[in-house]
Chains A and B, each alone.
Chain A
């Protein structure tokens, strides 16, 4: 079984550009999470979905960040416009409703110049 798939693995962009990160969760999982990892704050939960519906987006840092889950097999995290302080590794994770364990993708390393 394929795990969580994220694309791209690396993204380098210039300040002000729009960035879209993509995630395909594990088939059958009810929950999808977006995290950001930085040295200072570790892994921060940005937003999570349950059955494609956004449940809690209180971790989204600013209005420049948005996330969608149009169907059970696809989600996007968009940053518009991007800023250098958005540089981080962004992880997507999915889980079943029956347990706390989350399955993480390999992450997207974003660099905003």
Chain B
């Protein structure tokens, strides 16, 4: 059972435009929602997070939106840059402890 789903395995965007990556989750008992970025041959690195009490968190070009009623999380990158090309994983943490679930990832390609 996938607790976290990223239904788009890949996404291509022109440089300067907005990239929108989506994530759906199944359980309401999650406390934190995170996005990680992964380059080839490296481990994932933390990008941005949002707690369940908020619906938006912004950090520079990156904004995460949380829609709890729809159990939906999205990451907006604007403007997109070629260096943003990577695989993006969304992750959730349960409120019962350190239980984390990751999605299968979305490969973003930003075309110069």
Contact = CB atoms under 8 A, between A and B. Distances in A.
Interface string B1-38: 01000100000000000000000000000011010100
Q: Is the interface of A mostly helix, strand, loop or mixed?
A: strand
Nearest to A3: B43
Contacts of A50: 98
B104 interface: yes
Contacts, number: 58
Nearest to B92: A100
A3 B70 CA distance: 36
Contacts of A33: 100
Report the interface size class on chain B. Answer: 20 to 34
Contacts of A31: 98
A53 to B, nearest CB: 12
Contacts of A100: 31-32, 34, 49, 93, 100
Contacts of B102: 35, 42-45
Interface residues of A, number: 26
A102 interface: yes
Nearest to A95: B98
B99 A45 contact: yes
Given A100-B32, A101-B34, A45 B43 contact: no
Interface of B: 2, 6, 31-32, 34, 36, 41-46, 49, 89, 91, 93, 97-105
